Structure 1
Amino acid sequence: MEIRQLRYFKEVAEREHISEAAIHLHVAQSAISRQIANLEAELGIELFERVGRNVKLTPIGKIFLEHCTSALQAIDFAKNQVDEYLNPEKGTIKIGFPTSLAGHLLPTVISAFKKEHPNVAFHLRQGSYDFLIDAVKNRELNLAFLGPLPTKDDSIHTTILFTEDFSILVPSNHPFAKRKSIPLIDLRNEDFVLFPEGYVLHKLAVEACNSVGFTPMISSEGEDMDAIKGLVAAGLGVTLLPESTFYDSTPRYTVKIPIETPSIRRTVGIISPVTRDLSPSEKVFHNFAMQFFSRLGQYQ
């Protein structure tokens, strides 16, 4: 069994068309057909069945694809590690991040890192909270920023970079806009603007309100930070957001107000897999991020 055969098989399986796979791989169609036939002969099974001009995986072919994908990911990862050990300053770092950390944290730390390591490249992947955790577990990513950090998961390492409070964001013409602080219970009759159900910031906001005895009335939802802030600015409700989302500025026509009680906080940090070592460039970045936020914390 050859790596080339596995790559040909995976390409055909994903495209369900041999000629399209051949075009993408820049090889002759006959070469792909021959290598897949050799692979099937070695395994003693049929991996594909023909459906008109297309091909589809057989049931056993689908099982083989799962293992083939994992094997190729492991091989590519190993090759990248070898390349980076030869020159860790020219590696590529793949990092996942959620929308709540995209506006300030990510560009700030990467910009500072690039000043010291200008030849290291970055591949950035934005995703939901659960997606990022699964991506680290399933070899799609080795590093991901996350807030809050998950607890009680033996398959991932967690490194806290900082802890931050939540604040209330209200329209600038809101009756509470001139207050210095607000007990969360005072918002029990307010309309809320939140991320949709399934987003971790939705969960944190609802749990905070429940902790003081009410369920927030959700009038509007937005799927990114700018949408949430824009809906508040338009007067459609109030929201709860972490401090790091206000680092650049508080949006026009809104006012940020500290929460008096209860204390609502989240940890922000990096997750990495327990079962895999980080590449040299990933280790350098991980250590840099820890030192970077440690230095920032000394002046806060």
Structure 2
Amino acid sequence: MNLKDFEYFFQLSQLNSYTAVAQHFGVSQPTITYAIKRLEEQFNTSLIIKDPSHRTVVLTHEGLILATHIEHILMELSVTRKEIQRASQKITTIGFPPIIRARIISKLLTKHKDISFLRQFNLHTEGSKSLLQELIQGEIDFSFIGSRTALSHPDLTIVPLYKREFYIIVSEKHPLAKRKEISFKDILNEDFIMLNSGHTHSDVFNHLNARYHNQARVIFELNEVSLVGQLVKENIGITLLTDFVLFTDTDGLVKIPFIEQEKQYFHVSYAYPTHAILNQDIQQLISLLTDIKDETISETQSTTEF
């Protein structure tokens, strides 16, 4: 079976034109035609509806089935190539969102004197949403991931680590600073300073805001947690964060829990492709994570102040 025939057929299912597929691959149109004929002979069925009145290619039911499976086959091959290339180059790439990294490494250092093997990793430090896509597409070997709800994916092994509560964080100068709990409805007119859309915090904000027809507004979207903290401390706006976040200086900041009906949580997991052959460094990391899995990373209690 010719892999190139699969690639031609899948593009034909997407572009619906022999000419367009030939141009896409830089080959002649008969090359595409012969590839489709070979596949039809291989599977002993018609993959294309033979109707001259159709200006574009229309797949038969059997053709649609094949196109769906080919998409998964090509994706798996792409992931496999990337994984083998990294392995041959002795490169292990893991995703480590900045918000999660500080807490995890801090806890590992507390429990283990020698974690020098972590230097062997090539770290990707984007937000969790970006890292999840990189993991699915085979760009990285392993990743920590934060999410609004517990994660699941058919191609990934996902192990929960922690669940942390989200809070509204304000300056001690803010009129809301004395509140013991709060509803999102109470802060629709406030100016929000948020981490950008690559972070789970943005998902939580959008989820709550949608309940109130998106009335709340964000005046700044930033990638640096420390800068968010500085602006909130100056009472320029308020933010929504989990206490999993480490500010370099929490003086002058107050965190307010949501009312029970609106509580949101930051789920922290690690994940890797289900069929991956994990190298020694990743296995060692997983072993360390197992040791701290049932412990509370943050000793911060759910009070109104940090």
Partner letter of residue 170 of structure 2? V
Tell me the residue number matched to 2:270. Answer: 270
The Cα shift of 1:129 comes to: 2.5
Distance 1:113 1:282 in 2: 18
Change (3 A) 1:98 1:182: same
Q: CA 1:110/1:274 → structure 2, altered by over 3 Å: closer, same or farther?
A: same
- Number of aligned residue pairs: give it: 224
Superposition deviation, residue 110 in structure 1: 4.4
Give the equivalent residue in structure 2 for 1:227.
227
| CA distance in structure 2 between the partners assigned to 1:74 and 1:286 by the alignment | 21
**Does the 8 Å CA contact 1:142/1:273 hold for their aligned counterparts?**
yes
When the two chains are superposed, the root-mean-square deviation of aligned CA atoms in Å is: 3.2
Query: How far apart, in 1, do the equivalents of 2:172 and 2:144 lie?
Result: 32
Query: Do the aligned partners of 1:158 and 1:272 also contact (CA within 8 Å) in 2?
Result: yes
Structure-2 residue corresponding to 1:260: 259
Task: Give the CA deviation at 1:166.
Answer: 0.5
Uncovered stretches (5+) of structure 2, i.e. residues with no partner: 1-24, 28-76, 302-306
Q: What SS is found at the alignment partner of 1:130?
A: helix
Q: 1:1-300 alignment to 2 at 5 Å? A: 71=81, 73-77=83-87, 80=90, 94-102=93-101, 104-112=102-110, 115-119=113-117, 121=119, 122-148=121-147, 151-211=151-211, 215-246=215-246, 251-261=250-260, 262-296=262-296
- Shift in alpha-carbon separation, 1:170–1:111, aligned structure 2, 3 A: same
1:13 is aligned to none
Contact kept in structure 2, 1:219 and 1:236, CA below 8 Å: no
User: In the alignment, which residue of structure 2 is the partner of 1:10?
Assistant: none
The 2-side partners of 1:284 and 1:214 are apart by 45
For normalisation by structure 2, the TM-score amounts to: 0.62
TM-aligned CA distance change 1:175 to 1:79, over 3 Å: closer
- In 1, the alpha carbon distance for the partners of 2:144 and 2:87 equals 20
Deviation string, structure 1 residues 30-70 (Cα, Å, up to 9, x no partner): xxxxxxxxxxxxxxxxxxxxxxxxxxxx958xxxxxx8996
Structure 1 residues 255, 117: CA separation in 2 closer, same or farther (over 3 Å shift)? closer
Q: Which amino acid aligns with 2:84?
A: A
Q: Deviations over 1:188-232 (max 9, x none)?
A: 221111133454321211212333665312222212211221221
Q: How far is the alpha carbon of 1:153 from its aligned partner?
A: 2.0
Inter-CA distance 109–278: structure 2 relative to 1 (3 Å threshold): farther
1:134 shift after superposition: 2.6
Report the CA distance between 1:93 and its aligned residue. Answer: 5.3
TM-score, normalised to structure 1, is 0.63
The alignment partner of 2:94 has SS state of: strand
Question: Within 2, Cα distance between the matches of 1:209 and 1:111?
Answer: 38
Seen in structure 2, the aligned counterparts of structure 1 residues 115 and 296 have a Cα distance that, compared at 3 Å, is: same
CA deviations over 1:227-268 (Å, ceiling 9, x no partner): 22122122221111011114x666333212222241111210
Q: Counterparts of 1:68 and 1:207 in 2: how far apart (Å)?
A: 34
Work out the CA distance in 2 between the residues paired with 1:170 and 1:203: 20
> What amino acid is the match of 1:275?
H
Distance in 1 (alpha carbons) for counterparts of 2:171 and 2:295: 34
CA contact (8 A) 2:165 2:264 kept: yes
Q: What amino acid does structure 2 have at the position aligned with 1:177?
A: A
Do the aligned partners of residues 75 and 186 (structure 1) sit closer, same or farther apart at CA in structure 2, a change above 3 Å counting? closer
Quote the offset at 1:75 in angstroms: 4.7
What is the percentage of aligned positions where both structures have the same residue? Answer: 19
Q: d(CA) in 2 for partners of 1:198 and 1:136?
A: 15
The CA deviation at 1:112 is 4.6
